Structure 1
Amino acid sequence: MKNEISRRGFMTIAPIATIGLLLNKRSNNWLDKPNSKFGGVQMGAITYSFRSMPHDIDQLLKFCIDAGVSAIEMMGDPAEEFAGKPKNPNPFRPQPRPAGAAPAGPPQRPQLTDEQKAQMAAYAKQVAEWRATASMDKFKEIRKKFNDAGVSIYAFKPNAFGANNSDAEIEYGMMAAKALGATSVTVELPTDSAQTKRLGDLGAKHKVYVGYHAHLQATDTLWDEALSQSPYNSLNLDCGHYIAVGGKNTKESLLALIQAKHDRITSMHLKDRTADGKGNLEWGKGDTPIKDILLLVKSKKYKFPVTIELEYDVPAGSDAVKEVAKCIAYAKNILV
């Protein structure tokens, strides 16, 4: 019959089809699952690393796969927007800092006009009301979507854990984290000990760890009060910022801190900064003892994930996905 393909014809076509499948694997999210666990060390990335590339939840998943990342700390916006959070009238997408600028703290929003301030106050109330009744179904859908593609979510960082957020918002953030499959939420370390106690108590209620992140205020004892308040208060230790403090914060003291607090570290951020607090460089060019840190985590069999936080300037001709992939390759070369 004319429509029949002869055995010889099939054997001719089959290799071409196989080549096509192989070429398509990179573009098909679900055929080529990433694996960024090397030597027992789970390398991950905070999705803040992709801030220079605007994205929704599906684009974010593709970024993770293309970068070879199999575990993440997820920023709040893409997940919450997917779940139906009201649209921000003045959206703020943090951009990479200018060349030479020292990342001494969280990115700052530009000065708002009085009208914008009023809009944001009304928006904050609207979001709080939405969070109070938000279904967890969409977060569970995200979890399945990412898990099916080989990407797990170990931490969640929505803007819901501040002093001005209600208990209902904080509890929403923790429930969303659990729905995503995360074991911890992350937040900048509050200066008010009443707030760390509040977060720790709510963390205990929901069995969700609260990982506190620090910048240039990092010391060996900075987290001690929060840790004493609740077993669910923990460290989201940023090794790059710790080194950038300089002075008493040295390679040796950092490695000692990790060993002393390893059982209270729920996730770790890794970047390569200079000890004078100015540079944030491509991995291997700064003063953060990346190799020593990774080999310590490997040799001690610590279970917390090590998180790439891309903050150095993306070189011309590259993008955030390619740079995260470079960091993954750098770590793999050390750990395997």
Structure 2
Amino acid sequence: MKTLNRREWSKLTLTGVAGLMIPKAFAFHKPGSVTIGLQSYSLRDRPLDEALAAMVSLGIKSCELWGGHVEPQAAQWQRNSTPEQNKQKKALLEEWRANLKMDEIHAIRDKFKAAGIRIQAYTASIKDSISEHDLEQQFQIAQALGTDSITTSATVSVMKRVDVYAKKYKIQVGMHNHAHVEQPNEFATPDSFARGMQGLSEYIKINLDIGHFTAANFDAVAFMKEHHKQIICIHVKDRKKDQGDNLPLGQGDTPIGPVLHLIRDNGWPIPANIEYEYKGADTVEELRKCIAYCQNLVKA
């Protein structure tokens, strides 16, 4: 697809046909700017309706919707859960998936629409053990939410199965990385991304977490320069190199400013979704600081 320059973009927008000729990411993106969005996992301390209210109060207009805000809250994994509790949570989630009606998902979509927040992507849980029913259901949920993108902390080995449904539903899938460089089947290194996409369709792409990438001692700026066409969104967090801690934005080694400037200056339609993981006093107030920090960098 041809890359539009700013003059061509303006001409298409004025004639009212830009949204018909370009993907959703382009239609939402304003050239010369950066979409500062939110990974709703940042608000994992509250249920969906409260998380949505928090996003409205923060002025968020673009959200990467975490699966935990779609699935039953009682089924969510919690630290220090007992084996019996985990068994009960798994059974509850299996029951929910077996009986899910897409009207429930449409209701979530409508809540976001009423709030003026675009669901940029749906974050699905996809591992090697996932059944074919549950794997296809993740795409059906994304479709019902009205998004053309899924992000997932999957494995390299499951991506061939994922690609079957990505092509069927015409939904792109961004592989999300952590910093587990010692696990070759996890996404953590440039090589793991390459192996995850090798031989698969154009729907298999990347959700680059620039914080984890830095903690794994890789260069997010260089990677984005080379692979920006495969990146559907980034996660913004700040970590130290050498598997360092999550820190407030600006206190780690992650090149947040240079990355945001790359997106802005090149007009790349890559949303920058804040993923809050460091320990702060109040989630919403910390997110307010994160948003302001990123906005100020974009203006610089």
Equivalents in 1 of 2:55, 2:87: separation in Å?
Answer: 36
Aligned partner of 1:278 in structure 2 is: 244
3-state SS of 2:129 partner:
coil
1:305 aligns with 2:271: yes
Instruction: Mark the CA change 1:157 to 1:255 in structure 2 (over 3 Å): closer, same or farther.
Output: same
3-state SS of 2:242 partner:
coil
Paired residues for 1:3-14 under 5 Å: none
Aligned partner of 1:26 in structure 2 is: none
Aligned partner of 2:98 in structure 1 is: 129
Equivalents in 2 of 1:49, 1:277: separation in Å?
Answer: 20
For the 8 Å contact 1:46–1:74, the answer to whether it is kept is yes
Structure number with larger C-alpha Rg: 1
Aligned-residue offset at 1:306 = 0.7
Taking structure 1 as the reference length, the TM-score comes to 0.72
Aligned partner of 2:208 in structure 1 is: 237
Q: Identical aligned pairs, as a percentage?
A: 33
Greater helix proportion: 2
3-state SS of 2:71 partner:
helix
3-state SS of 2:191 partner:
coil
Aligned partner of 1:226 in structure 2 is: 196
Instruction: Mark the CA change 1:270 to 1:118 in structure 2 (over 3 Å): closer, same or farther.
Output: closer
| Alignment RMSD (CA, Å) | 2.3
Per-residue CA shift, 1:90-144, capped at 9, x if unaligned? Answer: x434xxxxxxxxxxxxxxx43633x4455355435423422xxx32222222222
Per-residue CA shift, 1:230-271, capped at 9, x if unaligned? Answer: 22111110001111112xx2xxx3212112111111111111
Which blocks of at least 5 consecutive residues in structure 2 are unaligned? 1-27, 182-187
- Segments ≥4 residues shifted beyond 4 Å: 35-39
Instruction: Mark the CA change 1:37 to 1:137 in structure 2 (over 3 Å): closer, same or farther.
Output: farther
Equivalents in 2 of 1:266, 1:325: separation in Å?
Answer: 24
Aligned partner of 1:149 in structure 2 is: 115
Q: Which amino acid is the alignment partner of residue 51 of structure 1? A: R
Aligned partner of 2:82 in structure 1 is: 112
Per-residue CA shift, 1:30-82, capped at 9, x if unaligned? Answer: xxxxx998942111111111123x22x2212111011221111111232234x
For the 8 Å contact 2:205–2:230, the answer to whether it is kept is yes
Aligned partner of 2:293 in structure 1 is: 330
For the 8 Å contact 1:38–1:335, the answer to whether it is kept is no
3-state SS of 1:286 partner:
coil
Aligned partner of 1:166 in structure 2 is: 131
3-state SS of 1:334 partner:
helix
Which blocks of at least 5 consecutive residues in structure 1 are unaligned? 1-34, 94-108
Equivalents in 1 of 2:285, 2:30: separation in Å?
Answer: 18
Instruction: Mark the CA change 1:121 to 1:330 in structure 2 (over 3 Å): closer, same or farther.
Output: closer
1:214 aligns with 2:177: yes
Aligned-residue offset at 1:158 = 3.5
